[in-house]
Amino acid sequence: MERPAPARVRTDPSTEPRVTDKLERMAERGVAVVTGASSGIGAATARALAKEGFSVVVGARRLERLREVSEPIGAVALPLDVTDPGSIAAFAGEIPELRLLVNNAGGAFGREPIAQADEDAWRRMWELNFLGTVRVTKTFLPKLERSGDGHVVVVGSIAGFDPYPEGAGYTGAKHAERAFTKTLRLELLGKPIRVTEIDPGLVETEFSLVRFGGETERARKVYEGLTPLTAEDVAECIAWAATRPSHVNVDEIVVMPRDQASATDIVRRPAERTT
């Protein structure tokens, strides 16, 4: 299938110096947007997609961190808060055409049993993981369809498959996000938009540090005794799915460390002693 001409992204020079210049070059594969791209999987995905020939636009709340990601790869960094409809509208207004949307923004806040549920934290997780994905996808669907070869990638989690004790706030949001993605695939059937869900297991990023409010030791123990995935491992999956021929829809990739079989089935090995 012949690919449509890639898009040029209009930007406000007051928010990002030389943004227009960065996207004057015509990318081989068109424009890709990555949300939650200031660190971790989002940052690694931006680098992987740029390497594959996409013209990349990255969005996140931490603009300084975002620029550290965007500048080495020639991407455009724009502020984005997926829980704020006004922020999404402003972000999308700078991108007249789009080929690939990677919904990566998400996260967990706290871990407690239902009897002690922190409703504010649970609401934040719902807004960020579920409604954020809904809002961004809804906003960009017309542009993805107009491209003639659009693609929506949702970075979910094995938490969307497996409930686990003290995790209902996060697993509930991720189950909803998974249902959204499956429904989107059905609703877009027959239209020129592919839909892919990427569901990682344990990935060593800032995820656990954020979840546990900056408690470094508690976050470290999540990955203790095994070799977790890296952000780059997941980014490779996303880039591979995004670069298949247009008639190939990779519906789902579930990727975990070798020593993990589910959210709760994990083999941890004792650290080797040194003399």
Instruction: Report yes or no: 121 and 88 within 8 Å, Cβ to Cβ.
Output: no
Q: What are 23-28's contacts with CB under 8 Å, separation 24+?
A: 23/55, 23/57, 23/76, 25/55, 25/74, 26/55, 27/53, 27/54, 27/55, 28/53, 28/54
**Catalytic option among 170, 180, 207, 212:** 170
Comparing C-alpha atoms, which of 98, 173, 169 is closest to residue 134?
Answer: 173
Comparing C-alpha atoms, which of 97, 251, 100, 98 is closest to residue 183?
Answer: 251
* 3-class secondary structure, 187: helix
CA distances from 259 to 44, 200, 236, 271 (A): 23, 13, 20, 15
164 catalytically annotated: no
Question: Active-site residue numbers?
Answer: 170
